[in-house]
Amino acid sequence: MLSSRRFGTPQFEVRWPAALIWLCAWALLWSLDGILNLGNLALLMVLASAMAGVWLSAAASVGTSAAFVLMFNWCFVEPRYTFNVQLHQDLLLLVTMLGVSAVVGYLMVRLRMAAEVESKHAQSSEQLRELSEAFRETLDAASKGQRLQALMAQQASCPVSVLLLQDGASEDGLGHSELMGPAEGQNLQGLWACAQQLAEMGPGTGRHENQATVFLPLRGRSRAYGAVALHRPDAKLLTPLLREMLQQSCDLLGLELERAQTLRSAQHAKDEAQSQSLRNTLLTSISHDYRTPLANLMGAASVIHDQAPRLTTDKIAGLAQTVLDEAQHLNRMTTNTLQLARLDAAPLQIKKDWESLQEILGSVMAKARQRYPKRQIGVLVPQGMPLVHCDAILLVQLFDNLIENAIKYSPENTPIDIQVQDLPNALEVRVIDQGLGIADAWKDKVFQAFERVHADTAQADATDAAQLRRGMGVGLAVCKAIAKVHDAKLWVEDHQPQGTAMCLSLPVLQQPLVMAEA
Amino acid sequence: MALKVLLVEDDRDLRQTLRDALSVEGYEVVASGSAADASAVLRHTMSSDTPLDLLVLDLGLPDGDGGDLLRSVRAQYALPILIISARHDDANKVALLDAGADDYLVKPFSISELLARMRVTLRHRGTVVLAPQTHYQRGALQIDLAKHTVLAAGQAVHLTPTEFKLLARLVRQTGQVVTHRQLLLDVWGPEHVDQTQYLRLYMGQLRAKLEANPTEPILLLTEPGVGYRLAE
């Protein structure tokens, strides 16, 4: 901590200038004796006494002045070498000298004390500033508490315990309370009582004076966020000034904790609102996206059920196909929605392994070709690609969604292309269609759950082409979430001359060791 | 004589649908809705003159986990088991396959998928008793494990010893999925069961030698997160 010397006030310890002044004064007196009359010599004495008073305490100043006046009387006042004073003027001189010395000494002491207080104030405000800076740098409440504990222990030179109360903590174990340092039985009760009553307790505070421990609350604006106990502090050391400074430190922490808690509850409220809004969009979307295929399913199934005898076999087969298609569509949407919820809830619980991108794309292609046997899909994969550390199931789902999207959002007679580029630190996969493309304004939005590029497809009774495209909102959101858990980037590019390229950049890590065959 | 199948499925509608569909295909179906009932049926029929040929087992049963039933059946009988389950997580799938299930199917599935899987599983019935499959032919590819030959369009294909071991392991269970763990254990040994990178590398090499288009294989199929399957 800072030394008070920095504030430049004279100290009681510095006494030698007074001795020097008296020495000089006596040398002058001796040399001027006989040249000047006694009155002028006496004035010299008064001057020396006043000057020496600057460096001496009031008592010392008066004492030395008295001693020197007696010596002056002995040496210079007639009759010399006796303590007899012949003239009244000489007596007056002695009294004047004593009076001036006393006044100067008293004034100096007052000045010093004022300076002392000033310096202590400056010191403590400096300490408070440092403490508040330290609080701002440390993030968690516990280390802030430790910081305060260390400072108080140093200042009061006694053991200190700190009780921190957060999130509306109470003695019944609600909220979050934390105790640092030793405090048991009465002391622990004292800490809680001090925090609850928002008041200092213990010797020198006017409350519970007989206690050996001083309790200080960590005051916020409306309530205490804990308390501090100073165990058996040195009564002389713990001046009201120091106690005030310690209380200010406590309040600093109290306000700091209050601020943190306000921030936390604001964040919590924000999260709550966000999840509420996600839930609402989810419900809206489910009610629409699920009702449409369900309506088709129910329509087709009920026609078969009610009118089967009057329908041709071809017609029934067609309706059954509708039932199958819609069921598959529902299955895909359910899988996507569940995956989105799962990745949202526990993004770190995925199981990664070394996988071959070629294999993953192969199994995605097998499914796509089965679903769309007539569609032209080209795959271009370089040889000898590095392995990717990923969850294969998730990546299959990602590519499956991208390909499904590409197929649905482009005319039936245009090809879909899948291209992989082996870059130094990444594998870049592009799924390219030749459809209408995506407007710049939508390039980021398409990845948000339940946004749709083609707003008209949100109508349940849209055209056949639009019907095909419904329900991909969750699909791309899942892709984004899957990319995120793999530290991969997913973005939209325009494809020339027309169409869209969905691009995924997968990071390539240090490859695992494979021992060559003997 | 019709093949006898025990169908354990707790959903009554699905049980009825599957039962009807399997009957239409000529199977004799015994249906059961709980683990306890299925155990009783197994006890009675397995010692009778007409034992079961196949167990189709749903995992989520009202009175117990299908996984436990699987393990107890596997411990007592050499009965092929096909798992049908609504659970999506592949760790569970792998655990069941490693515990002795012959194959699995994730709900929802189509009847044709179920029938195809049943056919494969039934063909492997008795793998414990009979000699395992040693010959494979599909398209232009011919594999004879006994003679140690692999022919593609009549031409001998040179495989390294490890490639051959890996291929042979898949041939022995043609049509069925073999888990990563099982392949690594049988081909590389117990100290390598977690090193899937070996599988990726050697499957890549095998495909390069045997498939017309290694990116879209038609013989050596990938079951993402689970294992590999040699197409029938």
More confident residue, A4 or A113: A113
User: Which residues lie closer than 8 Å to A291 by C-beta, 6 or more apart?
Assistant: A460
Classify burial at B97, counting beta carbons within 10 Å of its beta carbon; exposed 0-12, middle 13-18, buried 19 or more. Answer: buried
- Between B28 and A154, name the one with better pLDDT: B28
pLDDT band at A342 (very low <50, low <70, confident <90, very high): confident
Q: How far apart are CA B78 and CA A80, in angstroms?
A: 137
Alpha-carbon distances of B45 from B8, B39, B82, rounded to whole Å: 15, 10, 18
Q: Do A393 and B91 touch (CB under 8 A)?
A: no
Residue B165, both tokens: 């071991």
Q: How far is CA A152 from CA A3, A157, A192, A274, in A?
A: 17, 8, 19, 43
The predicted structure's pLDDT at residue B168: 93
Annotate A242-255 with b (16+ C-beta within 10 A) or e (fewer): ebebbbbbbbbbbb
Q: Give the C-alpha separation, A116 to B44, whole Å.
A: 102
- Residue that wins the pLDDT comparison between B49 and B157: B157
Give the span between the Cα atoms of A65 and B195, in whole angstroms: 98
Average pLDDT value for chain A? 82
Mean pLDDT to the nearest integer, B113-122: 89
Which residues of B fall within a CB distance of 8 Å from A379? 215-216
Q: Which two tokens stand for residue B10?
A: 């707790």
* Per-residue pLDDT, A468: 39
What is chain B's mean pLDDT, rounded? 88
CB–CB of B216 and A365 under 8 A?
Answer: yes
Nearest to A243 by CA among A158, A141, A142: A158
- Partner-chain contact A392 B197, CB within 8 Å: no
Q: Do A517 and B161 touch (CB under 8 A)?
A: yes
Q: What is the pLDDT of residue A290?
A: 81
What amino acid is encoded at A378 in this protein?
G
Is A359 within 8 Å of B203 when comparing Cβ atoms? yes
Q: In what order do the strands lie in the sheet with B54-58?
A: B28-32, B4-8, B54-58, B81-85, B103-106
Mean pLDDT of B107-128: 81
Query: Residue B56's closest CA among B86, B36, B79?
Result: B79
Tell me which chain A residues have a C-beta less than 8 angstroms from the C-beta of B200: 354-356, 359, 387
Q: Are A343 and A478 in contact (CB under 8 A)?
A: yes
Give the C-alpha separation, A356 to B220, whole Å: 14
Residue-level pLDDT at A458: 43
Across the interface, of A354, A363, A511, the residue whose CB is closest to B224 is A363
Query: Who has greater pLDDT, A336 or A57?
Result: A336
**Residue B18 contacts residue B114 (beta carbons within 8 Å):** yes
The candidate with the shortest Cα–Cα distance to B173, out of B128, B230, B116, is B230
Tell me which residue of A73, A63, A27, A68 sits closest to A46, measured CA to CA: A68
Q: Name which of B112, B31, B103 is nearest B70 in CA terms.
A: B103
Q: How far is CA B156 from CA A220, A233, A399, B165, B232, in A?
A: 85, 94, 36, 16, 21
Q: What is the pLDDT of residues B75-84, one digit of tens each?
A: 888 889 999 9
Handedness of CA A202, A205, A207, A210 (dihedral sign): positive
B92 C-beta neighbours (distance < 10 Å), count: 15
Rg of chain B over all Cα atoms, to the nearest angstrom: 19
CB B113 within 8 Å of CB B106 = no
Q: For the ranges A93-97, A162-166, B154-158, B225-229, which has the lowest average pLDDT? A: A93-97
Q: Is the pLDDT of residue B161 over 80?
A: yes
Map residue A314 onto helix, strand or coil: helix
Neighbours of A182 (CB within 10 A): 12
Q: Is the dihedral of CA A433, A439, A443, A445 positive or negative?
A: negative
Instruction: For residues B58-79, give the mean pLDDT.
Output: 86
Name the strand (E) or helix (H) holding A100: helix A88-137
- Mean pLDDT check: name the lowest of A70-79, A222-231, A370-379: A70-79
Q: What is the largest CA-CA distance in chain B?
A: 56
Whether residue B213 has pLDDT greater than 80: yes
A21 to A64, A459, B27: CA distances (angstroms)? 12, 104, 126
For residue B204, pLDDT beyond 50 = yes
- In tens, the pLDDT along A463-509 reads 444 443 444 567 888 898 899 999 999 999 998 888 899 999 999 99
Which amino acid makes up residue A195? Answer: A
Report which of A473, A409, A464, A460 is spatially closest to residue A435, judged by C-alpha positions. Answer: A409
The distance of A474 to chain B (nearest Cα, Å) reads: 18
**Which one-letter amino acid corresponds to residue A87?**
L
Percent of chain A with pLDDT over 70: 88
**DSSP for residue A125:** H
Phi, then psi, of A249 in degrees rounded to 5: -60, -45
Map residue A113 onto helix, strand or coil. Answer: helix
pLDDT tens string A412-456: 999 999 999 999 999 999 999 998 888 887 787 778 766 555 444
Q: If you search the block for the tokens 């580029």, which residue do you land on?
A: A421
Going from N- to C-terminal start, the domains of chain A cover 4-132, 139-265, 349-507
Give the three-state DSSP class for B61. Answer: strand
Pairing of strands A160-166, A224-231: antiparallel
Contacts of residue A275, defined as CB under 8 A and 6 or more positions apart, other chains included, come to: none
CB contact under 8 A, B221 and A353: no
Amino acid symbol at B124:
H
Fold of A139-265: Beta-Lactamase (3.30.450)
- The domains of chain B, with CATH numbers, are 4-123 (3.40.50.2300), 135-230 (1.10.10.10)
Tokens 């590095």, located at residue: A386
Min Cα–Cα distance to chain A from B221, Å: 7
Question: Is A72 exposed, middle or buried (CB count within 10 Å of its CB: 0-12, 13-18, 19+)?
Answer: buried
Q: What angle do CA B137, B143, B144 make, to 5 degrees?
A: 115
Distances (CA, A) of A50 to A99, A105, A296: 10, 8, 111
Structure tokens at A440: 């710049």
| Among A265, A281, A319, A268, CA closest to A297 | A319
Question: pLDDT tier at A9 (50, 70, 90 boundaries)?
Answer: very low
Q: What is the pLDDT of residue A462?
A: 40
**Dmax of chain A from CA atoms?**
156
**Residue A167 contacts residue A261 (beta carbons within 8 Å):** yes
Integer Cα distance of A231 and A184 in angstroms:
12
Give B208→chain A minimum CA distance, Å.
10
| Edge-to-edge strand list for the sheet holding B155-156 | B135-138, B141-144, B149-152, B155-156
| Cβ-contact B89, B80 below 8 angstroms | no
Task: Specify the higher pLDDT residue, A341 or A422.
Answer: A422
Q: What is the mean pLDDT of residues A70-74?
A: 81
Burial class (CB in 10 A: 0-12, 13-18, 19+), B48: exposed
Distance CA B172, CA B194 (A): 22
Query: Which among B215, B220, B226, B229 is the top mutation candidate for probing chain A, defined by the most A β-carbons within 10 Å of its own β-carbon?
Result: B215
Could you give the dihedral angle defined by the CA atoms of residues A357, A358, A359 and A365, in that order, rounded to the nearest 10 degrees? Answer: 110
State residue B200's pLDDT score: 94
Q: CB burial class (10 A; 0-12, 13-18, 19+) of residue B147?
A: exposed
How high is the pLDDT of residue A285? Answer: 66
Mean pLDDT of A333-358: 84
Instruction: Please name every residue paired with B31 in a beta bridge, in sequence order, or none if there are none.
Output: B7
> Distance of alpha carbon B177 from its chain centroid, rounded?
5
What interface predicted TM-score (ipTM) does this complex get? 0.84
Q: Do B222 and A351 touch (CB under 8 A)?
A: no
Is CATH 3.30.460.10 correct for A349-507? no
Q: In terms of pLDDT, which residue wins out, A378 or A288?
A: A378
Pairing state between β B141-144 and B135-138: antiparallel
Of the candidates A303, A354, A62, A270, the one whose C-alpha atom is nearest the C-alpha of residue B202 is: A354
Say what the pLDDT of residue A281 is.
65
> Which range (A90-104, A263-277, A306-320, A405-419) has the least confidence?
A90-104
Asked whether the CA dihedral B105, B111, B114, B116 is positive or negative, the reply is negative
Residue A398 sits at the chain B interface (C-beta within 8 Å)? no
Chain A residues with CB under 8 Å of B108 CB are: 327, 331
Percentage with pLDDT > 90 across chain A: 20
| DSSP H or E run through A38 | helix A38-53
Residues in B closer than 8 angstroms to A353, CB to CB, are: 196, 225
Helix/strand/coil percentages in chain A, nearest 5: 60, 15, 30
Separation between Cα atoms, residue A471 and residue A175, nearest integer Å = 44
The model carries a pTM of 0.62
- What residue of A is the nearest CA neighbor of B223? A363
A369 shares contact with chain B (CB less than 8 Å) = yes
Chain B neighbors of A335, CB-CB under 8 A: 88
Q: Is residue B59 scored above 80 in pLDDT?
A: yes
pLDDT at A25 over 80: yes
